[in-house]
Amino acid sequence: MVLAAEPLDEIRAPTPAALSLGEPVEVLVHDATRLAWNVTVPLTTERQTHYSFELELEVPANLVGVVDLWSALESYARLDDAVGIAQTSGEAFRRSVATISSKLARARDGFVRHCALIQSSATVEENHAGALRLWLAAMSAELANARSAHLEKAAEHDERRLADEFLSIQLWAMLTDCARSLLELRRTLDERGQPGVALLDEVEATLAGGLKDEIAYRWKAEFVLAEPVNTLQLERFLSRMRWLKKHFEHVCFLDIETYQVAHRLGGWFSALAAMLAYLWFVLVQIAVASRPSAIGSGVVVLALATALAYVSRDRLKELGRNWLAGRVQRMFAQRVTRYRMPRRERQRGSVVVAARESFSQSGAERLDPSEPGSGAAHDVTLFRFMHRGVLTPPTSRAVTSAAQVRLMYRLDLSWLFPRLHDAVRGFASIDEHTGGIAIVDVPRNYELPIRVSVERPEGAEKLLWTLIVNKNGLVRVAEGEAAARGALVPHPARGHSS
């Protein structure tokens, strides 16, 4: 398989700010079937902050079936701290530990992202391997700094030990993800016969050294360990990992309240539509009563008019209710969402985020990028998620260290895969060494453009991504790779909301 060469971005060491707060907008693959996007809104001293964002996913029309968009979407919100573990209260301490875990995850994401960039590069150079080592060093340095400077400030010894174990197991998980990406990169380069694979040996040695040091630390601290061949120990290890993750991260998440506007106002829509339908029936009855002496064909016409009014009353009520619901959703929103501080002793927390959301599905035509001058186009389906919110900073002293609110969404795309072709396609070629025939399996991927626009107090921006998928699931998200190819021609006749 021949891959187009793409220039790598300039390699820079990860800054503390980048690890602390992360990117304002992130679009990534959550797992094999779910697309994830995260948007952060900073907490300011102002009473309220208005913001909005919109995400649009483009899919070929022939790949789209019946989709319940709201059922496929999951949404969460959490508070992110900007400082280390400087507080002594239990919740503040656990929230700061979760913040350090997020920094480790961002370093892991940087490592995985650079592995993907190297795969698309024509050659492997020294600065490529250096970038991978930088991410591993940033991960280890962040954990070492947390242990030496932050964990000692915990008021309770038991909580400090749990935090140390949680961060240790998180680092182990992050190194596992890095090792998986590195092995996949090495396998890809070997298949392509690309030079420079030996440069990855130093990266693998650095990764293996970090893993050995962490396992030795866990032995010394008497944390839970598991032998690779012991299934029972591995199950207990994973159970312990889930419990620690929930213990430290649940204090960061906000309680969510949602309701569909059409469902909440459905009773009022039905009542108004029934009034209009009954008014139509009454008007026809009055017209019939005003001509009591009509005979012959006039009586037949009036009888038919009365029957038509009676039969159409229910139909008019249904049409009126749907029309009113559609108008309100287009003018206001499809769903109202509120994120509150966690409940305390049966008392609801204050509202931190109040938002109006809509998720629509519409049709369009896209010009063929391979023949831009021919005017040829093909049908596509646009899935557009819109969010307009108001952020109110929490007043509780326990969250004064929070720097931003992170809105997280997970969209299930499992309905897409049954309509895709097989994940690989074989091509015959001549083996250079034996002269015989060799079958080369080439991945068959699909590129789905993603467009994101964000408006925050800091300004507005528009971003482009491309979601790479195949029959086996979601592969990766490439930033700006193919999202700008081709132009969209609106096709309002096929538009509808979900």
pLDDT at 284 over 70: no
Q: Which two tokens stand for residue 355?
A: 């938002």
pLDDT value, residue 64: 87
Q: What is the largest CA-CA distance in the chain?
A: 105
**44 vs 276, residue with greater confidence:** 44
C-alpha 475 chain-centroid distance = 14
CA–CA distance, 410 with 461 (Å, rounded to integer): 22
CB atoms within 10 A of CB 461: 13
- The string of DSSP letters for 315-383 reads HHHHHHHHHHHHHHHHHT-SEEEEEEPPPBTTBPPPEEEEEEEEEEEEEEEEE-TTSTTTT-EEEEEEE
pLDDT value, residue 420: 87
CA–CA distance, 237 with 54 (Å, rounded to integer): 40
CA–CA distance, 340 with 351 (Å, rounded to integer): 4
**361 vs 274, residue with greater confidence:** 361
Q: Please, are residues 422 and 90 in contact by the beta-carbon 8 Å criterion?
A: no
pLDDT value, residue 490: 40
pLDDT at 82 over 60: no
pLDDT value, residue 360: 86
CA–CA distance, 79 with 95 (Å, rounded to integer): 8
CA–CA distance, 137 with 150 (Å, rounded to integer): 19
pLDDT value, residue 281: 62
pLDDT at 107 over 80: yes
Half-sphere CA count of 2, side-chain side, radius 13 A: 2
Q: What is the pLDDT averaged over residues 394-400?
A: 61
CA–CA distance, 52 with 43 (Å, rounded to integer): 15
pLDDT value, residue 485: 46
Q: Report the interhelical angle of 90-119 vs 157-192 (nearest 10°).
A: 10
The radius of gyration of the chain's CA atoms, rounded to the nearest angstrom, is 29
Q: What is the residue type of 104?
A: L
For 31, 362, 383, the CA distances from 64, given in Å and listed in that order, are 20, 11, 10
Q: Please, are residues 359 and 383 in contact by the beta-carbon 8 Å criterion?
A: yes
**378 vs 474, residue with greater confidence:** 474
**pTM exceeds 0.75, yes or no:** no
> Where are the domains positioned within the chain?
16-254+341-497, 262-329
The β-bridge partners of 306 are: none
Q: What is the pLDDT averaged over residues 184-203?
A: 78
Instruction: Select from 64, 69, 60, 32 the least CA-distant residue to 470.
Output: 32
In this prediction, residue 385 has a pLDDT band, given cuts at 50, 70 and 90, of very high
- The string of DSSP letters for 39-76 reads EEEE--SSS-EEEEEEEEEEEEGGG-----HHHHEEEE
pLDDT at 61 over 50: yes
Q: pLDDT per residue over 136-177, tens digit each?
A: 888 888 888 888 877 766 657 788 888 888 888 889 888 998
pLDDT value, residue 84: 46
3-state class of 212 per DSSP?
Answer: helix
**47 vs 196, residue with greater confidence:** 47
pLDDT value, residue 383: 93
How would you label 471-495 residue by residue, b for 16+ Cβ within 10 Å and e otherwise?
Answer: bebbbbbbeebbbebbebeebeeee
Least confident of 32-41, 104-113, 324-333, 452-461: 324-333
Q: Which two tokens stand for residue 449?
A: 């453009």
- Burial class of residue 70 in the structure, from the number of CB atoms within 10 Å of its CB (0-12 exposed, 13-18 middle, 19+ buried): middle
CA–CA distance, 332 with 321 (Å, rounded to integer): 16
